[in-house]
Structure formats: structure tokens, C-alpha cells
Amino acid sequence: MDNSKIVEFKSNPQSIQYSKDLTKDSYSNINLDNTFYVLKTSDNVLFLIYATENKSIIFYNLTNEQKVNEIKNAHNNFITNFRYYYDKNSKTDVLMSISGEDHNVKLWNINNQKCLYDIKNVNKSGFLNSAYILYDNNQYYAIRSDVDYSGNSEPIKVFDLNGNKLKEIKDSQDDTLFLDVYYDKKSSKIYIIAGTNGQIKSYDYKENKLYKSYKDEDNNFDHKSIIIYDREDIVIMIESSEDGKVRIWNFLSGDLLNTINISDKTLYGLCLWNKDNLFVGCEDKSIKLVDLKTGKVKKELTGHSMDVITVLKASHPQLGECLVSQGWIFDQIKLWVIKN
């Protein structure tokens, strides 16, 4: 698993237009990123995976636009978000599903939709907000974070896939909205990135300590999503915020490179189309196309009836480079395609 590489799309994103609604039953319980997932499996099947109000997980073949399977009652409570990774040890495509009020994380074999692991009781109270699969020394581990509005949030915890807690990340007891992982190949270091109330923090996983805090003096708002990737000689981190701004950081140095004022509304999920163009989901029910060079909004995609939470790109065998998005609650998943 390597999240440092960004596949750049070559088509002009300004030519993208609404195509169709892909779902009638999708449901998003949380206003954080990864409410659904689009992925291509190791055997080249393009899947859309999403949750329903009745706590099912739907596996939808995006190429032929057909439901492949439904896992009914996949969790005991609402499913909040998903992650994907390829287990190169077993050569298995694996889906992680997260239920905030269940306090558990499940891993599924995407090819046969069987549950591989059910990691229970990963937090005692609060809301399980985000989880991620971490790969280290030929083994996979689950990390998780939570939000406890009573002020008793637990630290970030690391579990093996059998549910045994291995360690807690030192000094990480914040209300954490999302987690990510960055693998620095040059230094062979692993960093855990946590979006907290008011700032983003990164932790050195092996040394088990805080690495950097990323905080704009004017920003005490919640952070909703990040993208982190290698670019030329620096590592870039792009993050969206409740104050309507996108901030671009040098991840390793902690320097703020640029602040782009996009809206007076909350910004949610990010999708990097290529090095120059960023799609951003917004509270005003639109998807904004931002020119990263000029900081200008070049286009707005409208049609959602709620805040746009997750925006992902996909390479469709017939339709080419396209965009998939989902709004909050009952707002359905939409497909956007390049029109020549």
C-alpha cells in the first residue's frame, strides 16, 4: 500500500458534466470524507462501494452498472466510511468498513464479500470517527481515532487484525476527525496524520511521538480531509477546513506554502485531478474546481441537494476519466463525465 503516488488524469476537468445518479439507496451518516469508495481490484473490476440506511454494504460494478452483492446488516449501527487496501501477502483486495457507534472496524474480502476480521471495542466511549490500515514490517495493523464531545477522547490506538491492542500513540488524545498514513521511502519512516479540532498533527509511528503540528494562526476550525503525496523534491499536504479555505503545506518541514480562500462555507472531501486541478466538496451543495496555480475557482458542479462530502475520481473503461460524488444523508451518489 503506497499512498504517496497520485495518478494524474490528463483530460481537461473544465469539460466535466453531470451524467447520472448511480444509486437510489445510498446513505451517508457522517460529514467526513470516504463515505463511499471507488476502486479497481487486482483483477481489474471497477467497484463502487457504499452504505445504505439499513446498515448494508453494496458492491456495485461501475463498468456494467450492476449490483454485485449486498452484505445485509454489515454493522449493528450506521456505517460511516470506508478504506481500501491490497493485501500483498494473501493477494486479496480488502475493504475496511467503520461504524461510529458500533465501536468496531471490519475487514472484508472484496472478491467474495466475506468478513475477514471484526475488530471490536476499539474505543470505549465517544464516536469512532476514522480508521486506517497501516503496513509495517510485512504486517498489517489497524489504527483508529475518535471524538468524545464530553472531552474524554481516547488516544490514537494501534491494533493487530485479531483485535489485540498493541500500543497507543503518545500525546494524541485529541478529538480526531480523520486519520491518514504517509510512508516516507527516503527515510523509511511511517507517519500517522490526524485531523483534530483546530489543527492537523502528524506522529512518528515508530518513535511514538508527535512529529509536527500544522496550524494557521487564524484557523481554529475543524479540518475535514487531506491529500498527502510526493511532488518533485517535497511532500505536499493539502487540507480542507470548516472556514472555507484549502491550505497547502510542506509536510516534512511543517511550512505553510499557500492558503486558498474558496468559500464562506465548510469544505469537505478533496480530489486531486492532476497537479494543477483540485475538486472540493462544499457545504453549499456544489463541487468546486480549483486551479492550484492561481487559487481561482474555475468551475462549479451543481445538482446535489445536500453538502457534498466525498469526491473521488475513477478511470472508467467506457466513459474514460470521470468523477463520482456523494452528498450528506440521503443525497445520492452522482457520476460526472468529460464531455467533448
pLDDT of 261 > 90? The answer is yes
Please state, in angstroms and rounded to a whole number, the distance separating the CA atoms of residues 332 and 52. Answer: 10
Q: Strand locations in 148-255, DSSP E?
A: 157-160, 165-168, 176-184, 189-196, 199-204, 209-214, 223-231, 234-241, 245-250
* pLDDT computed for residue 4 by the predictor: 58
Please state, in angstroms and rounded to a whole number, the distance separating the CA atoms of residues 197 and 147. Answer: 10
Hey, what amino acid is at 222?
D
- Quick one: average pLDDT of 188-215? 93
pLDDT of 112 > 50? The answer is yes
- Quick one: average pLDDT of 249-270? 96
CB distance 108 to 124 below 8 Å: no
* pLDDT computed for residue 244 by the predictor: 94
Please state, in angstroms and rounded to a whole number, the distance separating the CA atoms of residues 68 and 16. Answer: 28
Cα 42 to Cα 155, 229, 289: the distances in Å are 34, 22, 30
* pLDDT computed for residue 3 by the predictor: 53
C-alpha cell at 162: 485479531
* pLDDT computed for residue 128 by the predictor: 82
* pLDDT computed for residue 113 by the predictor: 94
Could you tell me the pLDDT band of residue 124, with boundaries at 50, 70 and 90? Answer: confident
- Quick one: average pLDDT of 219-238? 88
* pLDDT computed for residue 1 by the predictor: 40
Q: Which residues contact 23 (CB under 8 A, 6 or more apart)?
A: 50, 58, 60, 332, 333
Please state, in angstroms and rounded to a whole number, the distance separating the CA atoms of residues 232 and 115. Answer: 40
* pLDDT computed for residue 239 by the predictor: 94
Please state, in angstroms and rounded to a whole number, the distance separating the CA atoms of residues 295 and 218. Answer: 19
pLDDT of 151 > 60? The answer is yes
* pLDDT computed for residue 125 by the predictor: 72
Top-confidence range, 32-36, 76-80, 304-308: 304-308
pLDDT tens digit string along 42-63?
999 999 999 999 999 999 999 9
Hey, what amino acid is at 109?
N
pLDDT tens digit string along 13-39?
999 999 999 999 999 988 788 899 999
Angle, CA of 214, 156 and 245, to the nearest 5°: 30
- If phi > 0 it is left, if psi is from -120 to 50 it is alpha, else beta; for residue 121 that is left
The H or E element containing residue 103 is none
Q: Which residues contact 169 (CB under 8 A, 6 or more apart)?
A: 143, 155, 156, 157, 158, 192, 203, 205, 208
pLDDT of 2 > 50? The answer is no
Would the pTM of this model clear 0.85, i.e. be above it? yes
Q: Please, which residues bridge with residue 233 across strands?
A: none
pLDDT of 154 > 90? The answer is no
